[in-house]
Amino acid sequence: MRYLARQDFTNPVVIRPTTGEDCYLSLQVAPYGDGQLLLLVSDVSRQMRLEAVRRDFVANASHELRSPLTVISGYLETLGQDPALDPDMHAPVAEMRRQAERMTAIIHDLLELSRLEETDEIVGGEPIDVAALLALLRKDTLARAVHPRDVRVRVDSDAHLIGDEPEIHSAFSNLVDNAAKYTPPEGSLEMRWWVDEDGGHFAVSDTGMGIPPEHIPRPHGALLSRRRRALARHRRLGPGAGDRQARAAAPRWRRSKCRAPLEAAAPSPAISHPSASRQSFTP
């Protein structure tokens, strides 16, 4: 009934009939004619079972990989602090530690994704000062060894976002980090927060290589494709050639975006962070 009451039939709704069978049905309403509605029903039980297998595999694999990675990281840390270590081995050991930390972060993200997928509970939270959060993300971006030359923050609303601060920070940070990673040093990156009748919006625009449209529904494949294209361009043109080519061409802005429902975008409290106002940060 809530699906019909919303009058938004863009996406289908999946239900599980109370018949005791492992059956799932997808329902979608298609308007047609003069105020008429057509109900489309399809059996998606197989797809739902495959999705459950995928979730279980990701969760189990992540748990199994976490323990050996913890051991590897511990030994590498001990080895890196050993005064008897050959000076020629300091750089390789440091690189191994960085890669182990990177894999640990990926596994942490996969475990968090599994946790979020297995629960239907609505996470509450406290008002988040989005302007302060974006200022922190900009500072982190500029602290990278290689970062876009122009990093801007545009805040068009003083509304706060209701949610769990670590999870919101992680979601926003992932968008910004991916944009910064694949934007050339002479490129530009902009973070923007605004609120309209559809809710609160956070968007990251950059002049990087972008993601092919066919990979948008599969973000992991999209990021992998983006990295492969970066490597292919580097190998084909040679070091520095990609940068010269980017400087010669007019920059093309690409954008990643996430939206929060209107009820999650709360007016700013009477006492708020001084950065929670309509403003813009530039280098």
pLDDT at 168 over 80: yes
Q: Report the percent of the chain where pLDDT is more than 90.
A: 23
User: What is the pLDDT, as a whole number, of residue 155?
Assistant: 94
pLDDT recorded at residue 116: 72
- Contact residues for 199 (Cβ-Cβ < 8 A; gap 6+): 259, 260, 261, 262, 264, 265
For β-strands 279-281 and 126-128, DSSP reports them as unpaired
Contact between residue 229 and residue 191 where contact means Cβ atoms under 8 Å apart: no
Q: Which of 16-20, 128-132, 210-214, 247-251 is modeled with the greatest confidence?
A: 128-132
Query: CA 234 to CA 236: how far, in whole Å?
Result: 6
**Residue 69 pLDDT greater than 70, yes or no:** yes
* Helix intervals (H) in 121-269: 130-142, 165-181, 219-237, 241-248
- In CATH terms, are 47-117 and 126-208+252-281 the same topology? no
Q: Give the domain ranges of the chain.
A: 2-43, 47-117, 126-208+252-281
> For residue 264, what pLDDT is reported?
63
The model's confidence at residue 193, banded by pLDDT at 50, 70 and 90, is very high
| Alpha-helical segments (H) within 20-89 | 45-80
In this prediction, residue 74 carries a pLDDT of 92
Q: Residue 164 gets which letter from DSSP?
A: -
Confidence of residue 95 (pLDDT cuts 50, 70, 90): very high
Q: What is the reported pLDDT for 1? A: 65
The architecture (CATH level 2) of 126-208+252-281 comes to: 2-Layer Sandwich (3.30)
Query: 155 and 280 in contact (C-beta within 8 Å)?
Result: yes
Arithmetic mean of pLDDT, 73-91: 91
* Nearest-angstrom CA–CA distance, 271 and 35: 49
Helices (H) and strands (E) in the chain, counts: 7, 11
Question: Hey, which residues does 83 pair with through a beta bridge?
Answer: none
Backbone phi and psi for residue 204, each to the nearest 5 degrees, phi listed first: -120, 120
Sequence-distant (6+) residues with CB within 8 A of 42 are 25, 26
Q: Give per-residue pLDDT as tens, 120-129.
A: 555 567 888 9
Average pLDDT in the 8-26 region? 80
pLDDT digits (tens, 9 = 90+) for 222-259: 444 444 444 333 333 333 333 322 233 344 556 676 77
Q: Which residue has the tokens 């890196």?
A: 80
Higher pLDDT, 160 or 251: 160
CATH of the domain spanning 47-117: 1.10.287.130
